[in-house]
Structures are given as C-alpha cells and as structure tokens.
Amino acid sequence: MDGRTRSVTMREVAQHAGVSSSTVSRALSGSRAMSAEIRDRVLRSAEALGYEVNLLGRALRQQRLDVVGLILPDFSNPFFTALAEQLGAVFREAGFELLVSSAGNDLGIERRAVSSFLGRQIHALVVIPSDEAASRAALDAASRRVPTVQFDRRVADSDAPYVGCDNRIGVELIVRHVREVTPPGEPVVFVGAGTASSSARERREAFAALMPEALILDGSFDVAWGHRAARELLDRGIAGATVVTSADVIALGLQSELQAAGRRVPGDFRVIGFDGVGVADYALPALTTVRQPVEAMSRAILELITRDDPATPAGTVLVAPDLVLGDSSRTASGRAARGR
C-alpha cells in the first residue's frame, strides 16, 4: 500500500486539459452543447486523473441532492428490511439513491438520525416510527423541511402522510378463508401483538369486529410469543383450532411449538400468518398468510415524494394486500399456488 490518494478536483482536470473548470463541469454533465474536440479532451483528462465528482460541492451549489433517507426502528425485523430493499429498487429506478439508518429502537437516536438527514439536505425522508406517539415531534420536524412519509406505523395527528397496508382488507380475506377451512365446532383463535402499534391494533380490531366469537390472545411481534401462545392454547385444553396471528413470525413460532408438542398442522391446527415477506418461506407446512404489497407501497411512497405538494393536507394511502394460500389451506388451489 502506498497510502491514500487525495481526491482529484475539477480544477486539476481543467488544468490538465487546458480549459476552465466550468468547461469541465459542462463536459462531464453534458449540460450544454460544446465542441466535440474539447469535450473529448476533458473526458480523457478526467479519466486519466481518475476524477470523481465531489457530491458535497455539487449538492451545496445546486441546493438539492438526489438522496432519500429511510429510518427504520431496527434492522432485525424482516418486514422492515424487505421494505428497505424494495424501496431502494423503486427509488433507484426513479433516479434517487436510498440511504438507510437504524434508530436502534431509541427515540433519541431516531431524532438525531432525522436531523442528520435534514442537515445533509436530502430530498425526502421515509420513516417507520419507533414509537407511535413519541416519534411525532421528529416526524413533524422533518415534514416541515422535506417531503416526509411515515410507513407501517401510523403516528396520530402527524403532518406526514402515511402509507401502509389496508389491514381491514387483509383481515377480511383471512376471515373469509377461516370460515372455509375451519371444521364445524372447532374454535377460532386470534393471536395478536397488543395494541401498541397501529398495525397490530388495526388487525386486532378488524378481527374482533368480524369474528366476535373468537378467543383473543395478545402478545408481541416475535417468535417467542408464538411459542408461548401455542403452549397457552394447549394448556387451555384446546386440541384443534384455526389460529390467526397478526404476523408471520408469531405464526412461525406457534406452528413449530405445536408441532413439537406432537400436534398436526394442518390436521389439528391451522395456522395463518400476516405479512407474507421475509420469514413466510421458513414455515413448514407452508403458511397461509396475507401478503403485504411491498412493491405497491414503495411506489405509493415514491409518488408522494415526487408529486409532493405541501399545500395539500397530509393523506393516507392504504394499499390492498392479498391472500397467499399455504399447505394449511384445504383447497386444491392452495397447494397449486405454492408450487411445491
């Protein structure tokens, strides 16, 4: 190693090519017609010196930056990272770069991440709020400066528009399916994730409204709660049921604990998930689940950010999910759909 190379500036390219730096700028950006001879000379010099544009200088001068920031509560939730991946692809296509930052489930870090992105003059900000109440200040601060979209967790009364899955439709799809596959006399159980997040709350409420007769257990969005919920069902002496969960991770834990206890799935229990991205493939038998339309949601976010009109009041975009039938489904189409 011979040490680090200092970065080459336009000035140096200009000197090398014997032109002014504005000519270099124009040659590289192609912003203006110019003699082919000079352009080639400039491009060759840039190449020879290994010139790469300093985006800081450009952004400072242009007063804009084609970067969109994404702040996640953490990187460990597979649904969040699936969104990050998809959002990155959609933005890239539209000429934006996506930079992602984790709030580590900490409000202070989230706030600093917001102001750091704002201080970098990013074009827009997408936030999955860490906390549905306390994240509001940071969200509104961002919203005052750049187009800001909140995703997946809805912060009450925030100025920022919200994009998410239409949980009511998702639950309706599930309920229709549940009525088809549940044998007469067997109970239906809903294993939720509390009421702390808007997604969990909306799913739970929609379910309770449509199937008031169902037993409802509440926990959190993780595998361990699925394990515990399964044991709780068994402890209550339930030997067979259709179990609707509010996330695939819960379904996964529940299903494997039931199997470990010797229960047949889907023979004795039918387990239904929610999300359909990330971990849904892990389950065996394949999970029947509601698939969140991650791509459509990403496009909705792009739309809000590019067609941004600050005069329009903050809106809500709900994108409809669809049902993915797994091995728990008894219909022929279920197995066919999974292609196993």
Partner DNA sequence: TTGAAAGCGCTAACAA
Partner DNA sequence: TTGTTAGCGCTTTCAA
Residues forming the site for its own copies (CB under 8 A): 1-5, 7, 52-57, 59-60, 65, 74-76, 78, 81-82, 84-85, 88-89, 92, 97-102, 104, 109, 113, 115-116, 118-121, 144-146, 159, 223-224, 227, 249, 252-253, 256-257, 259-260, 278-279, 281-285, 310-314
Given DNA, its own copies, none, residue 116, with its beta carbon under 5 to 8 Å by kind, binds its own copies
Given its own copies, DNA, none, residue 9, with its beta carbon under 5 to 8 Å by kind, binds DNA
Minimum separation from the CB atom of position 40 to its own copies (A): 22
CA distances from 205 to 5, 130, 208, 289 (A): 60, 22, 5, 18
Give the separation between CA 68 and CA 91, rounded to whole angstroms: 8
Minimum separation from the CB atom of position 208 to its own copies (A): 28
N residues, the chain: 340
Decide: 149 and 160 in contact? Cβ < 8 Å.
yes
Q: Which helix (H) or strand (E) holds 100?
A: strand 97-102
Distance from the Cα of residue 57 to its chain's centroid: 31
With 0-12 / 13-18 / 19 or more C-beta atoms within 10 angstroms meaning exposed / middle / buried, residue 37 is: exposed
Tokens of 205: 């409420």
Give the separation between CA 325 and CA 338, rounded to whole angstroms: 7
Is 197 a binding residue for DNA by CB under 7 A? The answer is no
CA nearest 147: which of 125, 164, 118?
125
CA angle 140, 144, 147 (to 5 degrees): 95
Given DNA, its own copies, none, residue 22, with its beta carbon under 5 to 8 Å by kind, binds DNA
**Size of interface with DNA, in residues (CB under 7 A):** 33
Minimum separation from the CB atom of position 115 to its own copies (A): 6
Is 115 a binding residue for DNA by CB under 7 A? The answer is no
Given DNA, its own copies, none, residue 278, with its beta carbon under 5 to 8 Å by kind, binds its own copies
Q: Residue from 26, 154, 204, 228 that binds DNA (CB under 7 A)?
A: 26
Per-residue contact track with DNA, 58 to 97, x per CB under 7 A?
x-xxxx----------------------------------
Minimum separation from the CB atom of position 144 to DNA (A): 16
Is 113 a binding residue for DNA by CB under 7 A? The answer is no
Give the separation between CA 282 and CA 242, rounded to whole angstroms: 20
Per CB under 7 A, which region of 11-19, 135-143, 211-219, 235-243 contacts DNA? 11-19
CA distances from 235 to 194, 213, 228, 229, 251 (A): 21, 20, 10, 10, 18
Given DNA, its own copies, none, residue 281, with its beta carbon under 5 to 8 Å by kind, binds its own copies
Of 75 and 330, nearer to its own copies (C-beta) is 75
CA nearest 286: which of 265, 259, 257, 258?
265
